[in-house]
Amino acid sequence: MNRILTLCMLLLLMLGFHGCQQQLNRNARTPKYVYHKGYTPKKLRNGKVTVPYKAPARIKKAIAAGNKIIGRPYRLGGGHGKHYDSAYDCSGSVAFILHECGMLKKDSFPSSGQFLKWGHPGFGKWLTVYAKRGHVFLMIAGMRFDTTGTNRGVGPRWYTESRPCGGFYVRHIPGF
């Protein structure tokens, strides 16, 4: 009986550890952008991206939301006091997109560190949040939405380039 109880406890511990957040190792990079007709966006000259016709409705809304705020300047605290703002920081821009596609409550304006507990651990099929204390960004349908690129704090933009993501935790909503 003790052996069965011990095995059950070990199994429960293993399941508990499996559900822990997935922190990426220091050499990790975001996935390389590869275009797949109907499934991934194309970047346009104006900085916006196309909406893939085979994407789920929420993902189409997420991409459209990103297109609404690209080109806005970076401002620490931007997008936290109100949904529509003149400038956005990393968590404000991520929150804007997640609000628009119904994956975040409208009255919620989390900081980058608070995204560590958003959704569920692991990579999403269509949308993944990369979060750590101090920065957060999204991968949506294979395209990166981020406020930092070649220069720090440039504001919300779409990127096809991969980026280092060691130390980030990955989060998603099941089904997306």
Q: What percent of the chain has pLDDT over 90?
A: 73
Model confidence over 6-56: pLDDT tens digits?
333 333 333 333 344 588 988 899 999 999 999 999 999 999 999 999 999
Model confidence over 47-58: pLDDT tens digits?
999 999 999 999
Tell me how far apart the alpha carbons of residues 136 and 48 are, in angstroms, rounded to a whole number.
20
Identify the residue with better confidence: 80 or 121: 121
Angle of helix 57-69 relative to helix 90-100, nearest 10 degrees? 140
Q: What percent of the chain has pLDDT over 70?
A: 85
**In sequence order, which residues have a C-beta less than 8 Å from that of residue 137 and are 6 or more positions away?**
90, 94, 129, 130, 144, 145, 146, 147, 148
